[in-house]
Structure 1
Amino acid sequence: MFESAEVEKIVEMTIAHTRHLLVEGTVRVDIAIMGVRKVAAELEEVSPGHPAISRLMRFQDGLGLASAIDAAPPSSLQA
């Protein structure tokens, strides 16, 4: 089991690195989502229920939402 501070650091680094790769355009959003999901699953195995894992999953959900909005035709986004 990881120490709480270690889990927090892994989550922070995963989010920061994923954002960096997305901004650079070196990774597709769907691939980033899979990577974040894998890190979250592995953390859940070694530190089940840690609150930082929820933060990582919310980040992944946000990536999915951003991807869906980006893929939607402009006419479907108008209110």
Structure 2
Amino acid sequence: AALVADGRDGFLRRLDALADGRSTPGLVEGAARAGGRVAFVFPGQGAQWPRMAVDLLDTSTVFRDRMDACAQALEPFVDWSPLDVLRDP
């Protein structure tokens, strides 16, 4: 489930609805398909900082290979490279 609220009271109302099995605006429920794989997770909580993966790109061939694969998979859909974005100061 995902909850969207603009404050504590709204969040608590949505949590109550979730616990009671009721639908309400700002509450989204769903189920993941079996066998699916996650490519990226962006928490949006401010835990990121510029160039945070550059050292890992430069020192881990496993990470670099996976990032190269992600960049290739995204290439038909975007006009930028995640590798360039990660290295951008």
- Higher helix proportion: 1
TM score, norm. by length of structure 2: 0.29
Query: RCO (CA 8 Å, sep 6+): is it higher in 1 or 2?
Result: 1
Structure with greater strand share of residues: 2
**What TM-score do you get using the length of structure 1 for normalisation?**
0.31
Larger Rg: 2
